[in-house]
Structure 1
Amino acid sequence: MKVILRNGKISKGEMPMFLPKLFKVEDFNALIDFLRKNPFATVISSKDDVPYATQVPVMVDVIDEDVVLSFHLARPNPQNKTLEHNKNVLIQFTGAHGYVSSSWYVQEEVSTWNYQAAQLTGECVVLNEDELMEDLKRLTDHYETGDNARTFDTLSEDVLKQAKGVIGYKVKVREAGLKYKLSQNRSDKDYKNIVLNLRESDNQGDNRLAAEMEKLRN
């Protein structure tokens, strides 16, 4: 049974993520949009009960009804060894987040942290040489824009040889969870006051969080 469904919603399959119903997002398109807007993720694996984690840019593809994630690790990275023995990974994506002070509420209450996050699981498959070069080309060309863009096709042979220093992986997603903890449990008055304080902050992260909250509740 596929856990990721393209026709509307994320399936209710088992997912090792704390997902209270109030904060759970089940819309498939929202998941894909979130992943692509927040591509710098953490890949987590384990070997002999020891956890390993690496922060990497991740490419997101939808192929038929499957979500496929691809990334690469530096060849000397010890996490590669864990993936030889245990191919299961958890990939964590983080969106807007920030501190919410209880002083912004009408009545006394505890402070909290608002955030957006996605967790996805699946098994890693090593990319062959051609697949790795294609993946690096897509990654490079996606971010290289403008008149002076250094696209993949313009790179010298010496630079391209550095691809031998990385190992590429793809993951067909098995389970996915998307969580927006954005004060949905607060009154409209509290909610508006939280957004106002975040908007007035000098911190760009707070401003981004305010924008995400405004999308959720106008």
Structure 2
Amino acid sequence: MYIPKTFQETDRETLYQFIRDNSFGLLVTTGNDGVPVATHIPIELQPDANGQFRLVGHLSKANPQWKLLSSDTPALAVFSGAHSYISSSWYDHVNVPTWNYLAVQVTGRTSILSEDEALEVLRQQVDKYEAHSKCPVSVDSMTEDYVRKEMRGIVAFTMTIDSIQGVAKLSQNRDDKNYQNIVSELRQTGNSGAAELADEMAARRPEVGK
């Protein structure tokens, strides 16, 4: 991923937390014909038995991409956060428009999980997303026969984290006056993503991002 030094996010725990908070990612592999294949799915960050972090997820068996996830298949996982167009009219000088955004990319190698491992992935994943439900369900609240039957339609996988890169392009190269104006203009757009981006910018430069 191309990242100018000014916008690099290098703190490992910050990158991990970003994945936790933005876990609906894009899994990219290369098909046997050399053409890239991608699927949008929830991809979770989990420790393995040795405490090393890895990515886990599952694909529908109807999705042929799962057949590419054999042992040690190179893969790319992309996680995107808040983003917004930045108008050059928000500056106090002539400049070009741009786009601010947050993203993390992970490269690694995939392998297929066993049925019991897949069950544990599903159990943890459902518990995570049901945590704030009014009437939460869980894998354990369903009969084992039913769960096993439904699992026939999916393939779970794990992916090593061989490299991880993060970008936080948040107008760090702007002076305080223009930075503050960008935050203010983002908040006035009425767009929830722009507002979230403004909050992130304000948190990173609190002396001006109010």
Mind listing any 5+ residue stretches in structure 2 that lack a counterpart?
Answer: none
| Equivalent residues of 1:121, 1:175 under 8 A apart | yes
CA RMSD after TM alignment: 1.6
Match 1:193 to one of 177, 181, 200: 181
Whole-Å separation in 2 of the counterparts to 1:190 and 1:214: 13
Whole-Å separation in 2 of the counterparts to 1:67 and 1:100: 35
In structure 1, the residue matched to 2:45 is 60
| Equivalent residues of 1:102, 1:109 under 8 A apart | yes
Which AA in structure 2 matches 1:75?
A: K
Q: Tell me the CA shift for residue 61 of structure 1.
A: 1.9
1:129-208 aligned within 5 A: 129-145=115-131, 146-156=133-143, 157-208=145-196
Aligned length: 202
Q: Tell me the CA shift for residue 83 of structure 1.
A: 2.6
Moved more, 92-101 or 141-150: 141-150
Q: Tell me the CA shift for residue 86 of structure 1.
A: 7.1
Whole-Å separation in 2 of the counterparts to 1:65 and 1:32: 14
* SS across alignment from 2:152: helix
Mind listing any 5+ residue stretches in structure 1 that lack a counterpart?
Answer: 1-16
* SS across alignment from 2:2: coil
Whole-Å separation in 1 of the counterparts to 2:28 and 2:134: 37
Please give the per-residue CA displacement for 1:70-122, whole angstroms capped at 9, x wherever unaligned. 00000011212233497110000001101000000010100001000100011
In structure 2, the residue matched to 1:42 is 26
| Equivalent residues of 2:71, 2:111 under 8 A apart | no
Please give the per-residue CA displacement for 1:18-52, whole angstroms capped at 9, x wherever unaligned. 12110111111101111100000000000222010
Which AA in structure 1 matches 2:167?
A: K
Which AA in structure 1 matches 2:202?
A: E
| Equivalent residues of 1:66, 1:173 under 8 A apart | no
Identical residues among aligned pairs (%) = 39
Which AA in structure 2 matches 1:212?
A: E
In structure 1, the residue matched to 2:202 is 214
| Equivalent residues of 1:66, 1:172 under 8 A apart | no
| Cα distance, 1:129–1:159 mapped onto 2, change above 3 Å | closer
Whole-Å separation in 1 of the counterparts to 2:127 and 2:99: 36
TM-score when normalising by structure 2: 0.91
Runs of 4+ in structure 1 deviating by more than 6 angstroms, as ranges, are: none
Q: Determine whether 1:117 maps to 2:124.
A: no
